[in-house]
Structure 1
Amino acid sequence: MTRLEDLLTASAERSPGSTALVGPDGVETLSYADLDALTNRIASMLVDRGVAPGDRVGVLAAKTPWTIASLIGTLKAGGVYVPVDSASPAARVARIVRSAEPTVLLADATAETLVDGLVDEGLPDLTVGSLESPLEGERFTTAFAAGDIAALDPTRPDVGKDPLAHLLFTSGSTGIPKGVMITHDMVSAFVDWALGHFGTKPGDRISGHPPLHFDLSTFDIYATLAAGAELHLVPASLGLDARRTAAFIRDRELTQWFSVPSVLTYLARFDAVGQDDFPALERLLWCGEVLPTPILAHWMRKLPRVRFTNLYGPTEATIASSYYDVPSVPEDESVPVPIGRPCDGESLVVLDEGREAAVGEIGELYIGGVGLSPGYWRDQEKTDAAFVTGPDGERIYKTGDLARADADGVVHFLGRTDSQIKSRGYRIELGEIETAVNTVSGVRECAVVGVDLGGFEGTTICCAYSVTEGAELPVNDMRRAVGTLVPRYMVPAKWLVLDELPKNVNGKIDRPVLRERFRPAPKESE
């Protein structure tokens, strides 16, 4: 199987002068030859700083051409990169760093305060390389910077290889993020399928919307480089500005847009897409959560020439395991879009109490095939719990999703079996948020639930809590405290302060009752 860094090198040899990366500002660009040379230099610097095959390299930086180059440079050094959200609290990032034990941290100015915070969290011996000029941290010293890298010879170092490409840390129910191991073979298999299925070609202009610690970005990067196409990095500053996002698609003349459904929902709600808009756009893909069928129908009517595809799959099975090409505007907008059929080399298995469910029967969805991760980084117990043996002896992953297969073999997603939710495209364990809330001084007990309130962001995170006797803990104080412990997208949007949380007959917190408490009361008829 082709290694991921070799996808870039092959395209650079075929078409060295073609544009590979376009920065968020639209000004900074790198050709395939320039990107190949830069990644070789980064690899040489990492090897010089002690990175050996299999060593981890943490990446705490904004999404720029240099940051993309640092990921590929790590692979060329034989290393395993660990992209981390630099907007996360230092306490959470410190847990990831302690788990991954990176030999080097690559950072930019956006992570300067965070790296200082890591030192405060008890990580004083960090080797920090800057992707820009030297950083001015108060508690750390920059070991090397962009200028040092630029001075190196662009010859690729001759090093050993490791089967792992990167670690992606996802939300963990115990409050400790889980590192999913992703191999070169896993990503290469998906890229091979995607290039054939979507027909990606040189000259295509592909969006790079998801953050780099989100596994969807892996598809954007490596499928684009393998095809010799252009990757246009979407600025994080667009946020949920619907009209600026639409203008980006239009002005960059993108041929492919790939994002989580909440972005598509937001653009539709603000009517930011005109009739027959985006004349260059050929395909629109989404993954990460359910796209409401009325929103899909809105897009399909606006863009009748565009091909629409729903992709489905957890991080543990590499980007996506199944696909559904929507054939036409849905006639019944109350029917959810299927997650479809398995990609080449993948399998979807619906099990009911250990046996394969009959056609139309609801069961738990498991995934098998070439996309499966080896497991969780240094956590055999969690690996054994999630990756099990199927009825036919195949190794399969327990998704925690409910599904059914119809008579045509098309699989339909029906919801979650546990407390894991999707909000704004992020997979979130509500237990991790509860762990954070319970660490706040004054909290007696709490419960975090996901409630579908019909918003564009997907499931809304809601928290109910009670306080210890004599304590005062207003919602604003609670929100600020939790915001120092978890990423912004995991901070609950709705809060309830209760004297006592409701309990069921077993004395456990009654979460169904809480969910109803968070739902708005129905309007009285006039």
Structure 2
Amino acid sequence: MSRPAGHLQDLLADSAQRHADRPALVGTDETMTYAELDGAVNRVAHVLLGHGLTPGARVAVLAEKAPWTIAALIGTLRAGGAYVPVDPAGPASRVARIVGAAEPEIVLVDAASRPLLDEVLAELPTALLGRPPLVGALDTQDGVAFGREDLVLAPTAGPGVAPTDLAHLLFTSGSTGVPKGVMITHDTVLAFVDWALRHFGTRPGDRVSGHPPLHFDLSTFDIYATLAAGAELHLVPASLGIDPRGTAAFIRDRALTQWFSVPSVLTYLARFDAVAQDDFPALERLLWCGEVLPTPVLAHWMRRLPHVRFTNLYGPTEATIASSYFDVPEVPPDETVPVPIGRACDGEELRVLDEDMAPMPVGEVGELWIGGAGLSPGYWRDPEKTVAAFVPHADGERLYRTGDLARVDDTGVVHFLGRVDSQVKSRGYRIELGEIEAALATVPGIRECAVVGIDTGGFEGTTICGAYSVAEGHVLPATDVRRRLTELLPKYMVPARWAELEDLPHNVNGKIDRPALRERFAPAPATTAATGGR
């Protein structure tokens, strides 16, 4: 297979030439062939250029996962812009912070998300993604369609946009309560796609899952690797997130050849016994990334699906999708032994270093740093955080500090051992507990608060727990606190367990005793879990 071209939008243009009549995107009630998707992308690009989009400008995309939303992402690139996918299920305050920080020249929004946009940022220029008056048309606010599919644009971005320039901004949790924008360039995504196509052997006609939301970086792999291969991307409805049997039926009915998701989805299906013995006969590959996958869950899946190849991927958003992989060779004989994160993907580098950034001896625990082709340029308009996280090594290599603990065994395989800081992984999202605490502290009546993550082991994974004390004269049940937080944070960041305390525990230095809080929330000792961290 030829090496991917210099810009992400080139992947679609090349496949549209070779596979015009093949299905490209399959939604709930809409399918686009490669030729139709290429035309839809052209229409979006013409609308943006008609608006006067300047090279490198940001375009916010606030829309549910659907074929036309993906056309909007790629159309932004074709017009020479960079897209910012925004979660339409997020609270209004967070949407406002993200869109405000990105400073887009225009917002592409679907009809379902339009009221949310009007609530938080009505003054921004807006184009509406919708069907009337033309199926799949992109309309302006007054409903007049413009942009024509038969006006062909060059597939490569406009003048001044290089492969090393910004392709999209992905906002992740920030410890101070403000989401961080991670800058992702064309070439970093292409480097991973190039490796993944060769490693997994994706081919035309493969049916690939599109499970993650579009503001989550795993979706970047789904979209561009699928389109590069001439395969079919089957968009998994968000409603299946709480329906394990429905999710299993989706894999079965669509005859998917590849499933890629966060481990919590696999855990959920295993917990409800939704997968039968030798189920999903078309499935060839099952991949996970983003959080811990308990080893018993992996063993369950491998025993049920002996015909499937299982791969653990690891990597933070700052290193673009994934930096390492481990192809699990057999059903784990000991379910208490964690699965390694493996070896670096081509062009990537994993280093386990001590506090002075010197290599740790084989078998010794140190902090994991990443270098190589996938590294982001840094955080959007935040040079201080960028300098702290992306550090030049003495040998001249630029490295990213993951905050993960790891060791290298005598075969060169890397094993993940937990976190250095207060960051946790829950439902595939990397969450700064400090952001939750910052939001919790704004709730009227809260005197003191703290948030901890508890690894419950087995099928449950990490649980976020919140503890608080109440100021004198206030009554504040946990149900009220939780309701208030849902107005400030995405649902996946709201603690699942609560404790109202007369006073939070403190250590001898007067700081909140977080180990004591974790002990308070912790269940009985649980089985060690396998890793699929990010």
- TM class by shorter chain equals over 0.9
Selected match of 1:257 from 251, 256, 259: 259
**1:470 correspondence with 2:500:** no
**1:414 correspondence with 2:417:** yes
Q: Which residue of the partner structure matches residue 450 of structure 1? A: 453
| 1:144 Cα deviation after fit | 4.2
Q: Distance in 1 between matches of 2:343 and 2:149?
A: 47
Q: Describe the superposition over 1:204-247 as per-residue Cα deviations: whole angstroms up to 9, x where unpaired.
A: 00000000000000000000000000000000010131111000
Q: Distance in 2 between matches of 1:433 and 1:116?
A: 26
Matches within 5 A, 1:199-278: 199-278=201-280
Selected match of 1:19 from 14, 17, 23: 23
> SS state of the match for residue 378, structure 2?
coil
Q: Which residue of the partner structure matches residue 103 of structure 1? A: 105
| 1:92 Cα deviation after fit | 1.1
| 1:41 Cα deviation after fit | 1.0
**Does the aligned pair in 2 maintain the 1:240–1:263 contact within 8 Å?**
no
Distance change (3 Å), C-alpha of 1:208 and 1:200: same
Selected match of 2:52 from 47, 50, 53: 50
Q: Distance in 1 between matches of 2:413 and 2:344?
A: 9
Q: Distance in 2 between matches of 1:521 and 1:411?
A: 29
Matches within 5 A, 1:286-301: 286-301=288-303
Gapped regions of structure 2 (runs ≥ 5): 134-138, 526-534
> SS state of the match for residue 273, structure 2?
coil
> SS state of the match for residue 16, structure 1?
coil
Q: Distance in 1 between matches of 2:53 and 2:374?
A: 27
| 1:49 Cα deviation after fit | 1.0
Kindly provide the amino acid, as one letter, of the partner of residue 158 in structure 2.
Answer: V
> SS state of the match for residue 469, structure 1?
coil
Q: Describe the superposition over 1:437-478 as per-residue Cα deviations: whole angstroms up to 9, x where unpaired.
A: 011111111001001224745211111011111011111111
Distance change (3 Å), C-alpha of 1:18 and 1:152: closer
Q: Distance in 1 between matches of 2:79 and 2:71?
A: 12
Distance change (3 Å), C-alpha of 1:212 and 1:323: same
Selected match of 1:497 from 500, 504, 507: 500
Selected match of 2:512 from 509, 514, 519: 509
Gapped regions of structure 1 (runs ≥ 5): 136-141
> SS state of the match for residue 403, structure 1?
strand
**Does the aligned pair in 2 maintain the 1:47–1:77 contact within 8 Å?**
yes
Q: Distance in 2 between matches of 1:408 and 1:402?
A: 18
| 1:520 Cα deviation after fit | 4.2
Q: Which residue of the partner structure matches residue 159 of structure 1? A: 158
Kindly provide the amino acid, as one letter, of the partner of residue 159 in structure 1.
Answer: G
Distance change (3 Å), C-alpha of 1:501 and 1:186: same
**1:459 correspondence with 2:462:** yes
Distance change (3 Å), C-alpha of 1:22 and 1:223: same
- TM-score by length of structure 2 reads 0.93
> SS state of the match for residue 499, structure 1?
coil
**1:129 correspondence with 2:124:** no
Q: Distance in 2 between matches of 1:455 and 1:471?
A: 38
> SS state of the match for residue 401, structure 2?
strand
- TM-score by length of structure 1 reads 0.94
> SS state of the match for residue 239, structure 1?
helix
**Does the aligned pair in 2 maintain the 1:390–1:396 contact within 8 Å?**
yes
Kindly provide the amino acid, as one letter, of the partner of residue 470 in structure 2.
Answer: V
Kindly provide the amino acid, as one letter, of the partner of residue 16 in structure 2.
Answer: A
| 1:177 Cα deviation after fit | 0.4
**1:91 correspondence with 2:90:** no
**Does the aligned pair in 2 maintain the 1:134–1:144 contact within 8 Å?**
no
Q: Distance in 1 between matches of 2:130 and 2:55?
A: 25
Kindly provide the amino acid, as one letter, of the partner of residue 131 in structure 1.
Answer: L
> SS state of the match for residue 148, structure 1?
coil
Matches within 5 A, 1:60-99: 60-99=62-101
Q: Distance in 1 between matches of 2:166 and 2:144?
A: 29
**Does the aligned pair in 1 maintain the 2:315–2:323 contact within 8 Å?**
yes
Structure with the larger RCO, 1 or 2 (CA within 8 Å, 6+ apart): 2
**Does the aligned pair in 2 maintain the 1:310–1:323 contact within 8 Å?**
yes
**1:285 correspondence with 2:319:** no
**Does the aligned pair in 2 maintain the 1:132–1:146 contact within 8 Å?**
no
> SS state of the match for residue 356, structure 1?
coil
| 1:125 Cα deviation after fit | 2.1
Distance change (3 Å), C-alpha of 1:169 and 1:146: farther
**Does the aligned pair in 2 maintain the 1:131–1:146 contact within 8 Å?**
no
Q: Describe the superposition over 1:395-414 as per-residue Cα deviations: whole angstroms up to 9, x where unpaired.
A: 00000000000011000000
**Does the aligned pair in 1 maintain the 2:294–2:459 contact within 8 Å?**
no
Percent of paired sites with the same residue:
70
Q: Which residue of the partner structure matches residue 148 of structure 1? A: 145
**Does the aligned pair in 1 maintain the 2:57–2:105 contact within 8 Å?**
yes
**Does the aligned pair in 2 maintain the 1:277–1:302 contact within 8 Å?**
yes
For these two proteins, the number of residue pairs brought into alignment is 510
Q: Distance in 2 between matches of 1:159 and 1:519?
A: 54
Distance change (3 Å), C-alpha of 1:152 and 1:180: same
**1:320 correspondence with 2:319:** no
Q: Describe the superposition over 1:97-125 as per-residue Cα deviations: whole angstroms up to 9, x where unpaired.
A: 11100011111123123112213xxxx42
**Does the aligned pair in 2 maintain the 1:254–1:281 contact within 8 Å?**
yes
Selected match of 1:378 from 369, 377, 381: 381
**Does the aligned pair in 1 maintain the 2:42–2:148 contact within 8 Å?**
no
Selected match of 2:406 from 398, 403, 421: 403
> SS state of the match for residue 242, structure 2?
coil
State which drifts further: 292-301 or 144-153: 144-153
Kindly provide the amino acid, as one letter, of the partner of residue 24 in structure 2.
Answer: A
Q: Which residue of the partner structure matches residue 302 of structure 1? A: 304
Distance change (3 Å), C-alpha of 1:457 and 1:356: same
> SS state of the match for residue 301, structure 1?
helix
**1:432 correspondence with 2:432:** no
Kindly provide the amino acid, as one letter, of the partner of residue 8 in structure 1.
Answer: L
> SS state of the match for residue 271, structure 1?
coil
Q: Distance in 2 between matches of 1:174 and 1:284?
A: 36
Q: Which residue of the partner structure matches residue 531 of structure 2? A: none
Q: Which of structure 1's runs of 4+ aligned residues deviate more than 4 A?
A: 144-147, 149-152
